[in-house]
């Protein structure tokens, strides 16, 4: 019998705290949809994974300087195909708006304040306004920390937030929101 004493190489995956995709459990260990998928996919290829907490704004720089090997997250490919090497999509998630006021349709955001996480697809959508359905906002507030967008909404600093649908659903579940 031959025993393989070599360890599987480690892939360093950069990701931010983004429930339900990647977050720390009660024991401080990374968990979530992305962690489970990465563990299985890289395990099948003979690798172990290490989840490296990153600032989402720094993702491209961290990849370029080799601090991480790849990023995994609820990260839209559309409009970014030439910016990264992609493994391909593994899910579909819509960009949506959550409100804490009398906003019922996208056009009701005209002149209102919206918070988004910086360098995300919702930020791009509302900054570029390439779709005629996207109203002109009164103010777009881009925050590095995703959790702060919900704080801004709850405190009334903004009228709405823009994010991935699953992230908003997770927030609503965690905080018993409608």
The whole-number average pLDDT for the span 18-34 is: 88
Output the pLDDT for position 2.
46
Residue 3 — pLDDT band, cuts 50, 70, 90?
Answer: very low
Cβ–Cβ < 8 Å for 120, 108 = no
Residue 1 has pLDDT above 50, yes or no: no
User: For the residues 23-47, what does the mean pLDDT come to?
Assistant: 91
Q: Which residues contact 96 (CB under 8 A, 6 or more apart)?
A: 162, 163, 164, 165, 168
Q: How far apart, in whole angstroms, are the C-alpha atoms of residue 96 and residue 178?
A: 14
pLDDT (mean) for 86-102: 83
Q: 50-54, 139-143, 163-167: which has the highest mean pLDDT? A: 139-143
Classified as helix, coil or strand, 63 is helix
């Amino acid at each position: 019998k031959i025993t393989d004493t070599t360890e599987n190489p480690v892939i360093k995956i950069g990701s931010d705290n983004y429930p339900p995709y990647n977050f720390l459990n009660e024991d401080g260990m990374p968990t979530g949809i992305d962690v489970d998928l990465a563990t299985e996919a890289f395990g099948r290829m003979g690798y172990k994974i290490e989840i490296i907490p990153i600032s989402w704004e720094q993702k491209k720089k961290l990849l370029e300087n080799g601090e991480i090997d790849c990023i995994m997250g609820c990260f839209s490919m559309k409009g970014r195909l030439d910016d990264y090497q992609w493994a391909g999509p593994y899910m579909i998630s819509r960009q949506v708006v959550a409100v804490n006021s009398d906003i019922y349709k996208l056009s009701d955001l005209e002149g209102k304040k919206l918070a988004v996480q910086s360098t995300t697809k919702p930020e791009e959508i509302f900054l570029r306004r390439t779709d005629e359905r996207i109203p002109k906002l009164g103010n777009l507030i881009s925050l590095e920390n995703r959790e702060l967008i919900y704080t801004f909404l709850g405190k009334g600093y903004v009228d709405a937030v823009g994010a991935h649908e699953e992230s908003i659903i997770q927030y609503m579940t965690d905080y018993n929101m409608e």
